[in-house]
Amino acid sequence: MFFGKLFGKKPKEEPAKREDTPQAEVPKHIQFIGSCLGHAKKIGEDYGVALDYTPASIPAVSRILDGYHRRYLHPEEDGGAMQEKVNAFASVFGVYIGETLLRTHPESGYGWAEKEDFGLVVAKEGGYHIDAIAKATKQIVNGRENGDEVVSFFDVAGQVMEGKLGVSGKE
């Protein structure tokens, strides 16, 4: 599995499928979202934070990303592990941020989508998209001191989803 490779874990062996029971295959992006959300909750627990898909949890995510930024800037402290795994950690917390946006704004018409040249984003049919994974990457790499911070991003994205900003809805 792609995600397991990023974290250096061995893939688990799948149980044998019964041939007499048809099973719908879960799309890979849905599996990826589930995996990311599971990792986010576990990492949150490791940091003593309850990630509960509420706007109040986003500052905790930002603090975790700040720690990752410090590790990114000082590869000698972790043998360069954060630099090697930026995309994995950004995916974990970008998906968490995106899922929290969707749960906070369920009537917005937005949902998960795979966009060419962007990957997994929160998007509205035929229109605007919100790339929380890219924003998480930027906070890890650039840091909040350079203007990349997920709390303000979350607030603005929520306003976009509510139609409160002058975004036309077209890419």
pLDDT in tens, the chain (171 residues): 333 334 444 444 555 555 565 667 877 888 999 999 999 999 999 999 999 999 999 999 999 999 999 999 999 998 999 999 999 999 999 999 999 999 999 999 999 998 877 789 999 986 789 999 999 999 999 998 887 899 999 999 999 999 887 654 444
Residue 122 lies in a domain: yes
Contact predicate 171/130, CB 8 Å: no
Contact predicate 57/51, CB 8 Å: yes
Residue 13 lies in a domain: no
Residue listed under structure tokens 């041939």: 19
Q: What are the tokens at 125?
A: 């049919």
Q: At what angle do helices 58-73 and 150-161 cross, to 10 degrees?
A: 140
Residue 22 lies in a domain: no
Overall number of domains in the chain? 1
pLDDT of residue 154: 97
- Measure the CA–CA gap between 111 and 99, rounded to whole angstroms: 9
Q: What is the pTM (predicted TM-score) of this model?
A: 0.82
Residue 86 lies in a domain: yes
Q: How is residue 125 annotated by DSSP?
A: T
Residue 15 lies in a domain: no
Residue 130 lies in a domain: yes
pLDDT of residue 148: 83
pLDDT of residue 25: 83
Phi, psi values for residue 125, rounded to 5° = -45, 120
Strands (E), 62-153: 110-115, 119-124, 129-130
- Measure the CA–CA gap between 69 and 48, rounded to whole angstroms: 19
Residue 6 lies in a domain: no
Residue 59: domain span: 27-161
Residue 2 lies in a domain: no
Bridge partners, residue 120, by sequence: 114
List Cα–Cα distances, 117 to 120, 131, 134, in angstroms: 10, 11, 12
Among candidate residues 80, 62, 61, the one with its CA nearest the CA of residue 72: 80
